[in-house]
Every structure is written in structure tokens, then in C-alpha cells.
Amino acid sequence: MDKDYGIQYYDYNNSNGVQYKGEKIEIIQVLEKLKLSSSKKINGYVTIRFLVNCEGKTGLFRIQQMNENYTEENLDKDFVKKLLDFTKSLNSWIPKEIQGTKLDYYQYLTYKITDGKVSEILP
Amino acid sequence: MERFQKYYLSLIFLAVYAQISAQVNCSIYTDENCRKACEISNQASDAQGYSLSQLAFDTAIEICPTYDDAYFEKSVPYLKRGDFITWKKLIDKAVELSPNNHLDYRGWCKFQFLRDYKGAIQDFDQLEKYRPNNIGYSKNGDYNLYVVKAICYSALNQKNKAIQILENLYKTKDYHFGLYDYYQLGVTYFETGKYDKALENFEKQSKNYDFAENIYFRSKVSKIRNKDYLDLKSLALRSYDEGKTMKDAYTHHFNKVYRKQIAEL
């Protein structure tokens, strides 16, 4: 499927959440083990959006950072790089499928940062 | 080509399905431009997320800059794609023009998409000034927004306040219980160590709608009390595999439990 027609956000998998082997908890637990933190006591959100292709491989990573007031703000360059590298390292994405056809789709992960640590992973 | 057509049609179907209830009655607008903006916005909302739809909202805003729904509708695809900065700018404009109509959605999204508990509570409190005692429901239809407000307090570790809100709400005359209401109260009691009250609510939940997470917590209480919990654990896993879990099309529910957690009990 041409990347221009990748699914933007609708869940084609009966609302079963993030399509990752082991579900979202797997992503949470892998990140917890890494104990990533910022040297600064930052608060805000880092959102990384990317494409999952029909083979489950990722690419086209884009980052958006904002503070607690939903205003664009560069948080901590090194910490954000670690989050990007972590996101890129996730390699168990499940391709979406409609009527037996595997499709590309866009996925995002938002890291809520509280006092320099990831307090939640969304969606 | 045929594959593409099927895919494209599925997208349109979903877009229409998702927005079918969002149509505004445009005849209420006496200003001709605003009525036209309303009609354009209604039509554009049927193709949510497409560039032509977004451009149509721009046109609606241009001819009637006070038409709040165009800002709201334009904001939605940004939210669902994770562009929260753009979403916030647009939804703020909708709230500024018509707080009564958009604070519920903004507060719900702050909670559900960003776990911005304090921000959500602020919106619900502000909304109460416009809609005393009835602040409406979450966009996915699962919760009364007072339940969401209580969940926010629970997340902020104000468990007793959360319990108080829920207990009072559930006693309200003619209260319509949501899909997960008793479960959320049960989990909050569980987290405060009040297992009798927790179990009472999980049992009530199971009579309305039982699902894997609710069964998991009943099993958990049994395990804590050194009672047989394995049958319930098996039932929870079976329910999970049958798809009886907390579901949402865009995000994950608060207090959702994953299969791995049930298996490890």
C-alpha cells in the first residue's frame, strides 16, 4: 500500500488498543527497565509519530514536544533523543489488516514527562 | 485497484459512522453566513481527516468567524493523530466562543488522550457553571463526566475524594450507570485497601456487564484473602481472549488491565 494512503488513526482491530506484540504493557515494561530520565526536572509531553508498514517495520519518525500548557517547547534534547531511540527500537508492531490485506498505518506514542521521568505512555 | 477501492470505501464508511451524530441543526442560525458555515461544516465533518474537509472548515471559519463548531471539527483529526499543540489551539477557540458546548469534550480529551488530570478537572469545574449538576458524558459514551472527574482525583492520589464523588453520584435519583462505573469505584476502593467495598462494587459491576478486568480484580481480592482465586483467574483470561475487555477506539482506558498482568496473578 502506498504510504500516502496509510491509515491515519481509525482502529481497524476492534478497539484492541496499540497493536504491539504483548500489548501496550510490553512497551511500558521495556521502558521501565531502561530507567530513562532527564537531568532536568522537566514536565510536558513528547509525542513521536511514525509509520508502521505492512511488514510491521517502522519509519518516518516525527517528534513534537510541548510543555504542560500545550505550547511547543524543546524540553531536554538528550532525553528526547533517548525516547526517540527507544521508540525506534520497538520492533514488534503488528500490521493492521482488513479482509486479509495487511496495511500501512500511522502510530504515535506520547510520553508524558513528570519531573524528568516518563509517568505515562499514551495513547 | 479493487483492494484500494475496498480500503477507501471502508475509510469513508468509518468517517461517516464516526460523525453521524455530530450534525448541527443549521436552521437555528439567523445570520446567512453563519448558516452557510454550519452547512459547510456539517458536510465536511462526514469526511473527517481528509484535506478537503479541513479546507472546508477553513472556509466556514472565514465566512463566519464566530462559528464554534468549525473550530471544534477542525481540531479533531489533529487530536487523533497526536498533534496536540494544533488540537489545543483550535479547541481553545471553540471553547472561547461557546464554553457550554465544548468544555466537556476538551476536558474529556485532556484526560483520555493526555492524562492531564488537573486540566480535565479545571474544565469540568468550569463547565459546571454552565450546566449545574449535569456536565454530560464522555465522547466515547462510556462515562458520565463526573465519573471521569472522580477518576482524575483518584489518579492524583486523592482516593477518598474520588470515592466520595462516585458514591454520591451513584445515589443520584435516576442516575444512568455507565459501562464501567462500578468497576472504577471498586478499583479505587481496592487501592485504599477496602476490599469488602471493592468486592461489593466488582459484584455489582458483574451484574451489569462483566469483563476480564473486573474478574481479574475479584480474583485479586480472593488471592489477598488466601482464598481460591485460580478459577476466577482462568475466567478472566478466557474473557480477555473472547474480547470482553475495556475497549476504546483511540486510546486505552484508565485502570485497564492487560492479559500479561492477569496471567502473572
With beta carbons less than 8 A apart as the criterion, state whether A122 and A43 touch. Answer: no
User: Averaged in consecutive runs of 10 residues, what is the pLDDT profile of chain B (265 residues)?
Assistant: 43 43 85 97 93 96 98 97 97 98 98 98 98 94 97 98 98 96 98 98 97 98 98 98 95 97 98
How is chain A classified by DSSP, letter by letter?
Answer: --GGG-B-S---STTB-S-BTTHHHHHHHHHHHHT-B-SS---EEEEEEEEE-TTS-EEEEEEEEE-TTS-B----HHHHHHHHHHHHH---BPPEEETTEEE-EEEEEEEEEETTEEEEEE-
Residues of A in contact with B250 (CB under 8 A): 9, 11, 123
CA distance, residue B13 to nearest chain A CA (Å): 11
* Whole-number pLDDT of residue A97: 87
Looking at beta carbons, which residues of chain B come within 8 Å of A7?
11
Is the Cβ pair B81, A98 closer than 8 Å?
no
For the question of whether the overall pTM of this predicted structure is more than 0.95, the answer is: no
Question: How much is the average pLDDT of A47-51?
Answer: 97
Mean pLDDT score of chain A, rounded to an integer? 91
Report the residue of A3, A5, A9 to disrupt the B interface, i.e. the one with the largest count of B CBs within 10 Å: A9
DSSP label at B36?
H
Q: Do A122 and B115 touch (CB under 8 A)?
A: yes
B2 CB-near residues (< 8 Å, 6+ apart): none
Task: Say how far apart CA B84 and CA B204 lie, in whole Å.
Answer: 37
Q: B-side interface with A, Cβ within 8 Å?
A: 3-4, 6-8, 10-11, 14, 18, 49, 77, 80-85, 88, 113-116, 243, 245, 247-252, 256, 258-261
In this structure, the dihedral spanned by the alpha carbons of residues B112, B117, B119 and B122, taken in order and rounded to 10 degrees, is 110
- Confidence band, pLDDT 50/70/90 cuts, at residue A98: confident
pLDDT of residue A12 exceeding 80? no
Topology agreement, domain B2-97 and domain B179-263 = yes
Nearest to A118 by CA among A18, A20, A28: A28
Residues in A closer than 8 angstroms to B249, CB to CB, are 10-11, 15
Residues of chain A contacting B80 with CB distance shorter than 8 Å: 8-9
Find which of A10, A21, A83, A111 to mutate to test the B interface (most B CBs within 10 Å of its CB): A10
Judge whether residue A6 has pLDDT over 90. no
Of A18, A72, A112, nearest to B115 by CB-CB distance is: A112
Chain A positions touching B258 (Cβ under 8 A) are 23-25
A25 to chain B: nearest residue by CA?
A: B258
Helix (H, G, I), strand (E, B) or coil at B72: helix
| Distance from C-alpha of B161 to C-alpha of B159, rounded to nearest angstrom | 5
Q: How far apart are CA B184 and CA B150, in angstroms?
A: 9
Enclosing domain of residue A87: 3-122
Say what the pLDDT of residue B11 is.
42
pLDDT at residue number B133? 84
Residue in A with minimal Cα distance to B9? A98
pLDDT, residue A64, reads 98
Asked if the C-beta of A66 comes within 8 angstroms of chain B's C-beta atoms, the answer is yes
> Tell me, what's the pLDDT at A2?
41
Nearest neighbour of B114 by CB, restricted to A45, A71, A99: A45
Q: State how far the Cα of B65 lies from the Cα of B50, in Å rounded to an integer.
A: 21
Architecture label for domain B2-97: Alpha Horseshoe (1.25)
Range name among A24-28, A79-83, B130-134 with the lowest pLDDT average? B130-134
**What digits encode the pLDDT tens for the residues B191-239?**
999 999 999 999 999 999 999 999 999 999 999 999 999 999 999 999 9
CATH topology of domain B179-263: 1.25.40
Report the domain count for chain A: 1
Burial class (CB in 10 A: 0-12, 13-18, 19+), B197: middle
The domain ranges of chain B are: 2-97, 179-263
Model pLDDT, residue B13: 40
Q: Are B216 and B257 in contact (CB under 8 A)?
A: yes
Q: Provide the number of CB pairs (under 8 Å) joining chain A to chain B.
A: 94
* CA dist., res. B75 & res. B265, Å (int): 41
| pLDDT value of position A99 | 87
Q: Please tell me the predicted confidence (pLDDT) of residue A4.
A: 52
How many angstroms from the chain centroid is the CA of residue B32? 34
**CB < 8 Å from B in window 89-118 of A:** 98-99, 101, 103, 106, 108, 110, 112
Condensed to tens digits (0 to 9), the pLDDT of residues A62-78 reads 999 999 999 999 999 99
